Structure formats: C-alpha cells, structure tokens
Amino acid sequence: MYGVRLQDPLDLAGWRRAARALRLGGVAPEQVAWRVGDASGGLFDGPPPPEPPSGAGFSAPRELLDLAADLVCHRSDDRFDLLYRLLWRLKDEPALLRITTDADVAEAHLRRKAVQQATHKMHAFVRFRLVNPAFEAAGERETYVAWFEPPHRVLTRGIDYFVKRMGRLAFSILTPDACAHWDGAGGLSFTPGLERREAPGEDELETYWRTYFASVFNPARVNPRLMTQHMPRRYWGNLPEAAVIPELAAAARGRTDAMVEAAPTPPSPRTGRVQVKRAPAPPPPDAAPADLPEVAAAIQACRRCDLWRHATQGVPGEGPPQAPLMLVGEQPGDMEDLAGHPFVGPAGEVLNRALAEAGVNREEAYVTNAVKHFKHELRGKRRLHSRPNGTEIEACRWWLQTERRLVRPKVIVALGATAATAVFGRALSVLKNRGVVGEVEGGGLGFLTVHPSYLLRIPEPGEKARAYDAFVADLAAAHALLKAA
Ligand code: URA
C-alpha cells in the first residue's frame, strides 16, 4: 500500500504530481491511501509512490483536469481517491468521462455540481460590512469584511468574482477554511481560516441590507419551501436580512390581505409597493461608464424602460473584462433576478453543460443578456417569463453596446432571437441564420445559435438530444472562430 500526503485540502498540484507517478508506476487505485496535511494516518501511511520511469509520459485529458479543479473543493474525504480512480480507468476506457451512467462518473458530476452551487451561493449570499466608516477622514481605503461558511471549500474558486466587483474597495472574506484579502490595488492574499467570533459584528450595512430586503420582500410570494431553496437556512447565519425573514413571513398574511383590500384597481399590489419604496429614478447616465464595475452599478439605476419596476435588481454581464468570447442571452430568469447573476438557473445549467462538452471554459467568456431586467407576469405566486418587446430590447441595447465597447470580444454568440435582434440590430430567424452571421457593427464576428431554454422545451427525447448536440457543435464552432479571428 502506498501513501500520499498532500499539503492541504486544495493541493491539486500535489495530487497531479503523485497521480502521475502512480499511474506511470502501474499502481492501482486500491493500493493507494490519500491523506491531507500533517495529521498522522497511522497504520494507513504507506511508502511514497515510486519515482516515474525516466522519459515515460502520458497526458491526462483536459476534461479530467477541469473536473479535478472543481472536485478538490468538495468536502468529501475520498475525493482524491475518486479522481485517481477515474484517471486510472481512463487508460482502458478513454470515453469514460462521457458515460454519465457510470457510478464513478455520476458521483464526480454530482460533487462538481455541489461545488458549483456552493460557489454560486457564495456569490449571492456573502454580505460585506464596512469596518472603517471614518475611512475618508482617516485617509484610508474603504474596507469591508464578510464572514461566510460555505458547505465546500470554494473561497479560492469564487474569489475573482468579488475582486472584479469590488475593484478599488478593499475587502476580506473570512471563512473557517481560509481567509481572502483584497487590498483594492491589485493585491490578493490568503491567510488561514478563522472562527466565527473573530469576524466583525453589526453595523450600518447590516441595517441597510435589512431595509433593502424588507422593501423587495413580496408577502404574496411567501413560500417557505421555495424561500429556503433559494436562500438555504445554512446561510441565514451570514445574512443580515435573514433576521427579518420570520417577522416578515409572519406578517405576510396580514399584509397580503391589506394589499388586496387597499388596491381596488390595478396597478398590482407588487407594483404599488415597489413604486412607494424605491428611490426616485435618477436621470439616465449622460457619460458612458468607463469600466464594467461602473456598468454593473449603473444598471441598477437604469430607467431606460419600465422593466426595472417589477424586477428585484438589474443583472449585468459577468466575465473577464477582455474576454475574447461574449455570450448574449435573452434576459435574466426568475433565479437570475434573485441571485443577480446571469445564467444561474435551469437554462444556465444547460449552457454550462454544453459549454463544457464543447471544450469552452465559461470562466473565460463574458456572459450577458440582451435585456438586463427580468420581465415576467405574476400568475398566483409564480413569476412567469415574458418575452421582452422590441422597444425594451432597443432601450437595453445601449447597455449591450457599452459592454461590447469595453470588452471588445472577437466573437459574439447570440443565443436565440432576442439576443439576435440586440446583437445584429435587426430581427433574424434563428433556424435560418444559424452559424456565422458576419462582422457586427462596432467590431467582432457575430454567431447565432439557439437559446438553451429552447432545448428545455423540446418534449421528444430523441429530438431533444439531437438539438442539444447541434447546440454543443455550434458552441464549439464559435469557439474555434477565436483562433481565426
Ligand atoms: N435566460 C437568459 O437568456 N439569460 C439568463 O441569464 C437566464 C436565462
């Protein structure tokens, strides 16, 4: 039995080194015990793996390495065993990772999904507190701190998102595993994890969050099951607004009744409530935003059309500021509207899977929407997607043009008809014009394909699978254009 001791729970480089030596040395997975850190493994600590024969080599497929990057963040103790088992089996089963019914592959995908979800939840539920309110007088940089307890070790995986958003503001995110510190000037560092009592306490930001949450809380939509699904109880300890949930939920019945009695005619209770609570609309920005964080902030104040009135928030695009590939969807859906991020709901899952199968890393693409607010109709407690009209697409096109001007992508993929209108400036039939459409005004090569929601709506399994494969092929073709562009 061989023993491998990795330096820390996220030691992917250490796993790769050892896995390579073991695989080249012909050591089967059941002959290896993987351990992390200094703690003694007692009887299980065996000799280190044999040195690989000189000159011998093989390369692990990119797909496995991508999977490994996610899987190391999972809290399961046997994640390194699972990864090595997959690597070992790939020797005789090169298509293994595509066999989703295989128990190891299915388990790996399940864990990857849990890690991806934990990352999304971290993006949605981290709440910063200002720790130096007198920063101006003190000549300091505005500095925020957040305490967070993720179910998996996703701090390093998800930190870029905060760095991009906070820009020149300094922040620390403290977790029991590790702490990340951004100095607001390009320096990102990590220190060991902390205990909760070491994180800062109440302040004005907390009060701000509670007020904001109370103002967007819709008593007619109180559904505890759904609410805990979007905002699982595990995270409530980190969320200032969670303190007001029980109170608001208890009052919901009475508030709903009062709304119905007090509103004999339209507008709907939700519209009335939001109109009263929101600040007066600022004028549209006369100067174009200078960078993407400015775009993200300015979208929250957008009044170019009326969609902001019924949405929780505007959802800006996300991705590297100079991404060579831009993906444009239609508009945020219900989950995107709540989370504030594009493509995090069911359509996002299809998109993520298809991108991975097409060999495209979503993190390298700038993902945005033609329309930045969620347009919907209330049907009982449900918010049903409603397609944006030409006026709304045109009004929001200004934001897409601004994002394009700043990111300057080489290839722009329009997902579906609404995105086609926004990207190409004219209505196009998706199925007739699918593929490369040509140079887009303002720069970049335009590519048109279907929207992932279209795939979700196809009922017949065979047709669905063919349409999905064609979508993956389109994404791969658009990606290949990057080399030519
Ligand atoms: N559909 C879209 O077009 N965009 C999203 O962000 C989510 C669903």
Q: What is the pLDDT at residue 140?
A: 81
Which residues 6+ apart lie within 8 Å of 83 measured at CB? 15, 19, 64, 67, 68, 71, 72, 108
Which residues 6+ apart lie within 8 Å of 93 measured at CB? 99
Span 403-462, pLDDT tens digits:
999 999 999 999 999 999 999 999 999 999 999 889 999 899 999 999 999 999 999 989
Q: Measured in angstroms, how far is the CA atom of residue 158 from the centroid of ligand 1?
A: 21
Q: H-helix or E-strand containing 449?
A: strand 445-449
Q: Measured in angstroms, how far is the CA atom of residue 348 from the centroid of ligand 1?
A: 7
Q: What is the pLDDT at residue 219?
A: 52
Question: Is residue 334 lining ligand 1, measured as CB closer than 6 Å?
Answer: no
Which residues 6+ apart lie within 8 Å of 5 measured at CB? 35, 36, 37, 41, 45
| Helix extents (H) in 91-168 | 103-125, 135-138, 155-166
Per-residue buried b or exposed e for 203-222, using 16+ beta carbons within 10 Å of the residue's own CB? eebbeebbeebeebbbbbbb
Q: How many degrees, rounded to 5, is the angle at CA 291 between CA 121 and CA 477?
A: 70
Would you place residue 239 in the very low, low, confident or very high pLDDT band (cuts 50, 70, 90)? Answer: low
Question: Is residue 343 lining ligand 1, measured as CB closer than 6 Å?
Answer: yes
Span 374-415, pLDDT tens digits:
999 988 878 999 999 999 999 999 999 999 999 999 999 999
Atom of ligand 1 nearest to the CA of 451: 3
CA distances from 402 to 295, 328, 408, 412, 427 (A): 8, 13, 10, 14, 20
Question: Is residue 318 lining ligand 1, measured as CB closer than 6 Å?
Answer: no
Question: Is residue 332 lining ligand 1, measured as CB closer than 6 Å?
Answer: yes
Fold of 280-484: Uracil-DNA Glycosylase, subunit E (3.40.470)
Would you place residue 247 in the very low, low, confident or very high pLDDT band (cuts 50, 70, 90)? Answer: low
HEC profile for 400-431? Answer: HHHHHHHHCCCEEEEECHHHHHHHHCCCCCHH
**Mean pLDDT confidence for 329-346:** 93
Q: What is the pLDDT at residue 271?
A: 35
Q: Which two tokens stand for residue 106?
A: 């299915």
Q: Which two tokens stand for residue 170?
A: 């300094």
Would you place residue 176 in the very low, low, confident or very high pLDDT band (cuts 50, 70, 90)? Answer: very high
Question: Is residue 336 lining ligand 1, measured as CB closer than 6 Å?
Answer: yes
Q: Measured in angstroms, how far is the CA atom of residue 259 from the centroid of ligand 1?
A: 31
Q: CB–CB of 129/146 below 8 Å?
A: yes
User: What are the strands, taking DSSP E only, across 208-355?
Assistant: 325-329
What is the CA 474 to chain-centroid distance, rounded?
22
Mean pLDDT of the chain: 83
Span 6-55, pLDDT tens digits:
999 999 999 999 999 999 989 999 999 999 986 555 545 678 777 777 77
Q: What is the pLDDT at residue 84?
A: 97
DSSP code per residue over 220-237: GG--HHHHHHHS-GGGGG
| Helix extents (H) in 126-244 | 135-138, 155-166, 204-216, 224-230
Question: Is residue 366 lining ligand 1, measured as CB closer than 6 Å?
Answer: no
Domain assignments of the chain as residue spans, ordered by start: 2-121, 126-198, 205-261, 280-484
Q: What is the pLDDT at residue 168?
A: 84
Q: What is the pLDDT at residue 480?
A: 92
Which amino acid belongs to residue 195? E
CA distances from 126 to 18, 174, 391, 404, 430 (A): 35, 10, 35, 29, 39
Residues 369 and 134: their CA atoms lie apart, in Å, by 38
Which among 474, 483, 482, 481 is positioned nearest to 354, based on CA atoms? 474
